[in-house]
Structure 1
C-alpha cells in the first residue's frame, strides 16, 4: 500500500478529505432513546361513559382552516369562546413565550452555521519593527521599521471531527423543540386559566343573586317583626335579632362583591387588558354538563406539552454528553487567507503583491488535548449527571400528570353525587324555613327558629352554588391534565398545529 506522501498532490488532497469525512462520521454522541416511564393500563378513577356522553366531547382535527384544539367549545358558551380568542391575541405571557421560541430557533441557526466555513474581508496597514537578529543581520545594524498594507479575504472552518459540531446542533435543536413545547404549555395554561376564572366569576354572580334574595327576605322579616312588636305580640329582642340578621346578610353580600371585583380584574389581565378597561356583566353560573372521556393513559405521553418539554430536555442533555466526549479527541481548525500585501499603498493591488496563506496564523491546525487537570473529565461527568437529572424529572412529570388526571376524575365522579345530595338539602331547608315562618306568624315558635331555618337555606344554596363552580373548574382541570383538545390527533400533527400557533404568535410581535 502506498504511503500518503508518495501519492500525487490531488490524490493526497482526496485521501485527506476522505479521512476527514470518516472522522466526522465517527460521532461519539450516545444514541438517544426515550427512557421508559410507568404507564398504567387504565385510569383508576375513570367512570364508565356511555356513547351518548362520550359524544359530547369532539376531538380537534389537524386541519389548517379549522379549530386547533379549541377544547373550550365543548361548553357551548359563546362568551367563553370570545374570551379565549381575546386572550390568545393579547396575553403578554403568551407573547413572551413566543419570543422565547424565536430565541431558541435563532440559537439553533447559530449552531448550524458551524457546519459552514466563515468568510471575512479586511483592509488596513500594519506598523512593524523587525529586529536585526530576526533578519540575520549583525547586532550593530539596529532594527528597521516598516509599514505593511494588506487587503485580503480570510476563510476559517472547524472540521466536524467526532461529531463535535453535530452534537452541538442536536442539543440546540432539542432546546428549540423544548421551547416550542413550553410555548404550548403556556398556551394551554392560559386557556385553562381563562376558563376557570370565567366560571369562578359567574359563580360569584350566582352568590350575589342569593345574597340579594336573602337581604330581601331579611328586610321583609324585619318589617314583620317590627309590626308585631308594635302590636305587642313579641319583645324588642326579636326586633334586634332581625336587624342583626339583615346587617350580617348585607355585610356578606359586600364580601362577595369584593371577591367578584378581584376575579374580574384577574380575568382582565389574562385578556391583556387593564382592569379599568374591562367589565363583565353579571351572569349567574349554570351547571356544566360537559363530560370529558379520559381516553387511554398512554396518550398523555404524547398530548401533554410539559411532558414533551421534559422529553426534549433529555434529548438535549444526551447531545451534550456527546459534546463533552468530543473534547477528548483532536480538533481541526482550517484557516486560509488570500489577497494582496505590499509595503506601500500605491502598489498594494499590483499582481506582484498577491499573497496566499493556508494554515493557522498562530498555533497549530490540529490540536490534541493531553492534560488539563481533569477539566474535560469533570465536564463529561457533569453532562452525564445532567442527563440523569432530566430522566428523573421526565419520569416524575409523567407521574404528576397521571396524578392530576386521577384527581380530577375523582372530583368529577364524586361531585355528581355531592351536588345531587346538596340539591336535596336545599329543598329540605327551604321547606323547613317555610314551616318555621308559618309557625312563627301563628305564635307557635320563637324568632330564633326562623333565623336558624333561614340561615340553613342560605348556607345550603351557597354550598350548591360553590359545588356547581367547582364542577366547572374541575372539568377544565381535567381537560388541562389530559393535555388539551388533541384527542384523536396524532402526536406529529399536534406538534405541527402547536408550532403553527407559535409562528402566528411570533409573527404578531
Structure 2
C-alpha cells in the first residue's frame, strides 16, 4: 500500500512537471522588417523589367547550379570542379558545418533522459561515533558490492532546453548558409582569376605583336640611318620605343605569373603543380538583364546566415529568461547491493533510489548578485546587434547588385565607344607612317601615334576583362544562377 501511494505521488509530480513544461518564457521569433525598395534602381531604365520584380527574402536553399556554364568556357568548367574538390577553405567550412550540427545534436540530447549503469565494490569504514559504539569497540571495514542502473531527466519547465535547442538549430543552419557563402565566393574567385589570366594573355599577345612591329620598324629606321636619310635622333627614338614595349611585355608576364599562382592556391595546389595554357580573352557576350527579379536576393547565403544568427540570438534570450525560474530534475536508481559478491543478484539484495543523491529535485534561484540580469541584458543586446547586422547585409546586397547592373550597362556602352577609339587611333597611325615616308612629319609623330594605338588597344582589352569579371561579380551578388521567364540561363 505504501509503495502504491509513493508511486501515485511520483506520477502526479511527473504530470504536473509535464504540464508546466509548456510554460516557455522565451520570446517568439519573427524576422524584423527591412526598409528597402521593391525594385532596383536600374529597373527604372526598363519599365517592362520593373513589373517582374518583388521584395527579396532569404531562401538560401534554392538551387544555384553551375552558373559559370553561361560563359561557355570548358577550361573554366574544369577549374571550378577542381576547386570544389580540393580547396582547403571549402573543406574547413564543411568541417565547421559538421561541428555545428554535432552541437545541435548534443543540445537535442538534453530533451531525453540520461541512462547509465555501473558495477563495482566499495570499501568503507564508518566511525565508532557514527555507529554509537564505544571508542575501543571493534569496528572493521566493510566491502559493499553494487550493480545498478541510474536515470536522470531535467523537466523543461520554462523552455530553457527547448530554447537552447532552437539556438543550436539556428547556429547549424547559419553554418550551412556560411558554407554556401564560402562555396559561392570560391566559385566566383576562380572565375574572376581565370578571366584575369585570360585578359593578361590577351595583353601579352598584344605586346608581342607590338614588339614585333617595332622591331621591323627599327630595321627600316636603321636602314635609312645607314643610308644617311635620317639623323641619329630618329634611330634613338625607334630603339627607345622597342625597349619600352619589351619592358611592358615583361611586366605583363610578371602579373600573369602571380595571377596563375593565386589560381593554383584556389584549386588546392602549389604553383609548381599547376600551369594554365595561354589563351587570349575573347569578348564576353553574356549580358545579365536589368529585369532580373529582385527575388533572387533570396539566394544570397550571407543574408540567410545573418537571419539565422538573429534566430539563434533570439532563442538565447529565452535561455537567459529561463534562468530566473526553477529547474526540476528527476533522478532515480535501481539495482542490487550486497556485502558479498555471491549474493549480489539475489532478490533480497535489490535496492532503489528516487530523488537526487545530492541536492534537491526542484531548484529555485533567489540571489546571485545580478548575474542573471546581466546575462539577459547581454542576450538582448546580442540580438539587437544581429538585427542591425542583418539589415546592413540586406542593404549591402542591394548595393552590390545595383553596382553590377549599372556597371554592366555602362561597360557595354563604354566598350562601343572604346572600339571606335581604337579604330581612329589605328587610322591615325597609318596616316602618320605615310606622312613620315613622304617627309611631311617627324618620326616623333609616328612614335606618338603608335603609342596611342597601343594605349587604346590595351584599354579595350581592360574593358573586356572588366566586363567578364563584373558579370561574375553580379552573379555572385544575386547568389548564383538565375531563372527568368521560366527559362534557366545557367544549368542546374
Q: TM-score, structure 2 length as denominator?
A: 0.91
- In the TM superposition, residue 83 of structure 1 has moved relative to its aligned partner by 1.8
CA drift of 1:287 comes to 1.3
Structure 1 window deviating more from structure 2 (479-488 vs 203-212): it is 479-488
Out of 8, 16, 20, the residue aligned to residue 19 of structure 1 is 16
Write the mapping of 1:451-490 to structure 2, written as runs, cut at 5 A.
451-487=447-483
CA gap 1:210/1:362 in 2 versus in 1, 3 angstroms: same
8 Å Cα contact 2:297/2:479 also seen in 1 = no
Paired position in structure 1 for 2:71: 75
Equivalent positions of 1:18-417 (< 5 A) are 18-46=15-43, 47-48=45-46, 68-139=64-135, 141=137, 144-294=140-290, 298-417=294-413
2:420 is matched with: 424
Equivalent-residue separation in structure 1 for 2:321 and 2:293 (angstroms): 37
Residue 18 of structure 1 deviates from its aligned partner by: 2.2
Does the Cα contact within 8 Å between 1:404 and 1:481 map onto a contact in 2?
Answer: yes
Structure 1 position 301, deviation (Å): 4.8
Work out the CA distance in 1 between the residues paired with 2:139 and 2:318: 51
Question: What count of residue pairs does the alignment treat as equivalent?
Answer: 475
Contact 1:294 1:482 in 2 (8 A): no
Between the aligned partners of 1:190 and 1:355, the Cα distance in structure 2 is 62
Go from structure 1 to structure 2 and tell me whether the alpha carbon gap of 1:11 and 1:240 turns closer, same or farther (over 3 Å shift): same
Structure 2 counterpart SS, 1:161: coil
Q: What is the CA–CA distance in structure 2 between the aligned matches of 1:147 and 1:49, rounded to whole Å?
A: 90
* 3-state SS in 1 of match to 2:159: helix
Task: Note the alpha carbon deviations across 1:69-102, whole angstroms, 9 max, x for none.
Answer: 2211222222222222222122221121111111
SS at match of 1:148: strand
Q: Is the 8 A contact 1:132 1:144 kept in 2?
A: no
- How big is each residue's C-alpha offset from its partner over 1:248-290, in whole Å with a ceiling of 9 and x where there is no partner? 1111101101111111121122222222222111111111111
SS of the residue aligned with 1:151? strand
Unaligned runs of 5+ in 1: 55-61, 491-500, 502-509
User: Counterparts of 1:140 and 1:366 in 2: how far apart (Å)?
Assistant: 43
Structure 2's unaligned 5+ residue stretches are 53-59, 487-491
Q: Deviations over 1:318-359 (max 9, x none)?
A: 000000111111111112111121223333233322211111
| Between 337-346 and 9-18, the greater mean CA deviation after superposition | 9-18
Deviates more, 1:7-16 or 1:126-135: 7-16
> 1:489 & 1:360 partners in 2: Cα distance?
66
Aligned to 2:56: none
Q: 1:50: how far off?
A: 8.3
* Cα drift, residue 139 of structure 1: 4.8
CA contact (8 A) 2:296 2:482 kept: no
Q: Distance in 1 between matches of 2:401 and 2:75?
A: 27
Structure 1 CA distance for aligned equivalents of residues 168 and 48 of structure 2: 46
TM-score by length of 1: 0.88
Determine the C-alpha separation between the residues in 1 that align with 2:296 and 2:15: 46
Cα offsets for 1:180-238 (capped at 9, x unmatched): 00011011101111111111111001100110111011101111110110111111121
Partner residue of 1:504? none
> Partners in 1 of 2:239 and 2:31 — Cα distance?
69
Partners of 2:299 and 2:480 within 8 A in 1 = yes
Provide the C-alpha distance between the structure 2 equivalents of 1:94 and 1:489, rounded to a whole number of angstroms.
33
The answer as to whether partners of 2:355 and 2:361 remain within 8 angstroms in 1 is yes
User: What secondary structure sits across from 2:144 in the alignment?
Assistant: strand
**Which sits farther off after the overlay, 94-103 or 30-39?**
94-103
Question: Which has the larger displacement, 130-139 or 429-438?
Answer: 130-139
CA pair 392-81 structure 1, distance change in 2 beyond 3 A: same
CA shift at 1:41, angstroms?
Answer: 2.0
RMSD over aligned Cα atoms: 2.5
CA contact (8 A) 2:64 2:479 kept: no
Give 1:134 deviation, angstroms: 2.2
3-state secondary structure, aligned to 1:133: coil
Deviation digits for residues 475-495 of structure 1, max 9, x if unmatched?
A: 1111111111154799xxxxx
Distance 1:111 1:155, change over 3 A: same
Q: Is the Cα–Cα contact under 8 Å of residues 300 and 401 in structure 1 kept in the other structure?
A: no
